[in-house]
Structure 1
Amino acid sequence: MDMNQYLSMFIDESNDHLQSLNENMLQLEDNPEDIAIVQVIFRSAHTLKGMAATMGFEDLASLTHQMENVLDLVRNDKLKMQDYIFDTLFKSLDALQSMVLDITQGGEGKADVAAIVDSLQAIVRGEKPGAGKADSAAASGSTGEAPKTAIELDEFQQSVLEQSLAEGHKVHYIEVSIREDCQLKAVRAYMVFDLLERFGEIVKSSPTVQEIEQEKFDTSFALYYITQKDSADLESMIMNVSEIATAKVIPAGQESLGQLTASASKQAAAASEAPEAPAAASSAASAPAKAAAPKGSAQDKAPAKRHGTGTPVPSRTIRVDIERLDALMNLFSELLIDRVRMEQLASEIKRSELTEAVEHMARVGNDLQNIVLKLRMVPVDTVFNRFPRMVRDLSKSLDKKIDLVITGAETELDRTVIDEIGDPLVHLLRNAVDHGVETTSERIAAGKPETGTINLKAFHSGNHVFIEIVDDGHGIDREKVAAKAIKNGILTKEQASGMSDDEIALLLFAPGFSTAEKISDISGRGVGLDVVKSKIESLGGTVHVTSTLGQGSKFSVQLPLTLSIISAMLIKVGDEKYAIPLSSIVETGLLKRSQIREVHGYKMIPYRNSNIPLLSLKQIFSIPGFDEESEEESEIVVIRKGDRIAALTVEDFIGQSEIVIKNLGKYLPSIQGVAGGTILGDGQVALIIDPNAFIK
Structure 2
Amino acid sequence: MDMNAYLSMFIDESNDHLQALNENLLKLENDPGDISIVQVIFRSAHTLKGMSATMGFEDLASLTHEMENVLDLVRNSKLAMDSFIFDTLFKGLDALEAMVQDIVGGGTGKADVSSIVVSLQSIVKGDYLKAAQPSADAPAQNSGSSGTSGGALLDIFQQSVLKQSIESGNQAYYIKVTLREDCVLKAARAYMVFDVLESNGEVIKSEPSVQDLEQEKFDRSFIVFLISGTDAEELKSRIESVSEVDSADVVLLDAESLQMYGPVPDNQQKPAASQAAPAVQAREAAVRETSAAKSQTAATGAAVANRTIRVDIDRLDSLMNLFSELLIDRVRLEQLSSEIKRSDLIETVEHMARVSTDLQDIVLKLRMVPVESVFNRFPRMVRDIAKQLDKKIDLVVTGAETELDRTVIDEIGDPLVHLLRNSLDHGVEMPADRLAAGKPETGTVHLRAFHSGNHVFIEVEDDGNGIDAAKVRRIAVKNGVLSEEEANKLSEEQAQMLIFAAGFSTADKISDLSGRGVGLDVVKSKITSLGGHVTIRSQLGKGTIFSIQLPLTLSIISAMLIQMGSEKYAIPLSSIVETGIIQRDSIATVHGNQMIEFRGTVIPVVSLSRVLDVPDYREDAETETEIVVIRKNDKLAALMIDSFIGQSEIVLKPLGKYLPAIKALSGATILGDGQVALIIDPNAFIK
Residue equivalent to 1:145: 157
Residue equivalent to 2:346: 355
Alignment of 1:250-649 (within 5 A): 300-302=291-293, 315-567=306-558, 603-604=598-599
Q: 1-side partners of 2:348 and 2:70: how far apart?
A: 66
Residue equivalent to 1:82: 82
One-letter code aligned to 2:76: N
Q: 2-side partners of 1:640 and 1:542: how far apart?
A: 10
Q: 2-side partners of 1:425 and 1:90: how far apart?
A: 22
Matched residue pairs, number?
A: 528
Is the alpha carbon distance of 1:540 and 1:566 closer, same or farther for their aligned partners in structure 2, counting shifts above 3 Å? closer
Q: Following TM superposition, by how much is the alpha carbon of 1:36 offset from its aligned partner in structure 2, in angstroms? A: 2.2
Q: Following TM superposition, by how much is the alpha carbon of 1:512 offset from its aligned partner in structure 2, in angstroms? A: 3.5
Q: 1-side partners of 2:629 and 2:474: how far apart?
A: 42
Is the alpha carbon distance of 1:662 and 1:135 closer, same or farther for their aligned partners in structure 2, counting shifts above 3 Å? closer
Residue equivalent to 2:243: none
Structure 1 unaligned regions, length at least 5: 149-295, 594-600, 606-612
Structure 2 unaligned regions, length at least 5: 139-154, 162-286, 584-595, 611-616
Q: 1-side partners of 2:99 and 2:8: how far apart?
A: 15
One-letter code aligned to 2:64: T
Alignment of 1:14-163 (within 5 A): 14-128=14-128, 137=133, 145=157
Q: TM-score, normalised by structure 1?
A: 0.63
Secondary structure of the structure 1 residue equivalent to 2:446 = strand
Is the alpha carbon distance of 1:643 and 1:450 closer, same or farther for their aligned partners in structure 2, counting shifts above 3 Å? farther
Q: TM-score, normalised by structure 2?
A: 0.64
Q: Deviations over 1:490-527 (max 9, x none)?
A: 44434433434444434433334434443333222233
One-letter code aligned to 1:14: S
Greater RCO structure (CA 8 Å; 6+ sep): 1
Q: Following TM superposition, by how much is the alpha carbon of 1:471 offset from its aligned partner in structure 2, in angstroms? A: 1.3
One-letter code aligned to 1:411: T
Structure with the higher fraction of residues in helix conformation: 2
Q: Deviations over 1:15-63 (max 9, x none)?
A: 1110011111122222323222222111111100101111112221122
Q: 1-side partners of 2:85 and 2:672: how far apart?
A: 65
On the 8 A contact 1:505/1:545 being kept in 2, the answer is yes
On the 8 A contact 1:440/1:451 being kept in 2, the answer is yes
On the 8 A contact 2:332/2:672 being kept in 1, the answer is yes
Secondary structure of the structure 2 residue equivalent to 1:93 = helix
Q: 2-side partners of 1:14 and 1:687: how far apart?
A: 43
Q: 2-side partners of 1:27 and 1:48: how far apart?
A: 20
Is the alpha carbon distance of 1:104 and 1:675 closer, same or farther for their aligned partners in structure 2, counting shifts above 3 Å? closer
Q: 2-side partners of 1:3 and 1:304: how far apart?
A: 30
Is the alpha carbon distance of 1:621 and 1:317 closer, same or farther for their aligned partners in structure 2, counting shifts above 3 Å? farther
Alignment of 1:136-285 (within 5 A): 137=133, 145=157
Q: Deviations over 1:593-620 (max 9, x none)?
A: 9xxxxxxx96549xxxxxxx99999999
Q: 1-side partners of 2:294 and 2:666: how far apart?
A: 57
The structure that has the greater radius of gyration is 2
Q: 1-side partners of 2:349 and 2:470: how far apart?
A: 65
Q: Following TM superposition, by how much is the alpha carbon of 1:352 offset from its aligned partner in structure 2, in angstroms? A: 3.0
Is the alpha carbon distance of 1:101 and 1:298 closer, same or farther for their aligned partners in structure 2, counting shifts above 3 Å? farther
Secondary structure of the structure 2 residue equivalent to 1:145 = helix
Q: 1-side partners of 2:515 and 2:433: how far apart?
A: 18
Is the alpha carbon distance of 1:534 and 1:87 closer, same or farther for their aligned partners in structure 2, counting shifts above 3 Å? same
Q: Deviations over 1:77-96 (max 9, x none)?
A: 33333333322222221121
On the 8 A contact 2:605/2:638 being kept in 1, the answer is no
Residue equivalent to 1:151: none
Secondary structure of the structure 2 residue equivalent to 1:302 = helix
Q: Percent identity among equivalent residues?
A: 67
Q: Following TM superposition, by how much is the alpha carbon of 1:373 offset from its aligned partner in structure 2, in angstroms? A: 1.2
Moved more, 59-68 or 473-482: 473-482
Moved more, 434-443 or 102-111: 102-111
Moved more, 87-96 or 554-563: 554-563
Q: Deviations over 1:365-403 (max 9, x none)?
A: 223222221222111111111001100111122111111
Moved more, 476-485 or 104-113: 476-485
Q: 2-side partners of 1:49 and 1:140: how far apart?
A: 38
On the 8 A contact 1:466/1:556 being kept in 2, the answer is yes
Moved more, 376-385 or 450-459: 450-459
One-letter code aligned to 1:543: V
One-letter code aligned to 1:340: V
On the 8 A contact 2:398/2:448 being kept in 1, the answer is yes
On the 8 A contact 1:81/1:140 being kept in 2, the answer is no
Is the alpha carbon distance of 1:327 and 1:100 closer, same or farther for their aligned partners in structure 2, counting shifts above 3 Å? same
Q: Following TM superposition, by how much is the alpha carbon of 1:485 offset from its aligned partner in structure 2, in angstroms? A: 4.0
Q: 1-side partners of 2:560 and 2:414: how far apart?
A: 35
Q: Deviations over 1:325-375 (max 9, x none)?
A: 223212221221111111111121122332233233323322322222122
One-letter code aligned to 2:68: E
Secondary structure of the structure 2 residue equivalent to 1:457 = strand
Q: 2-side partners of 1:676 and 1:470: how far apart?
A: 34
One-letter code aligned to 1:94: D
Q: 2-side partners of 1:92 and 1:498: how far apart?
A: 54
Q: 2-side partners of 1:310 and 1:655: how far apart?
A: 49
Q: 2-side partners of 1:645 and 1:494: how far apart?
A: 23
CA RMSD of aligned residues (A): 4.9
Moved more, 502-511 or 111-120: 502-511
Q: 2-side partners of 1:621 and 1:339: how far apart?
A: 30
One-letter code aligned to 1:23: E
Q: 1-side partners of 2:619 and 2:460: how far apart?
A: 45
Q: 2-side partners of 1:431 and 1:573: how far apart?
A: 45
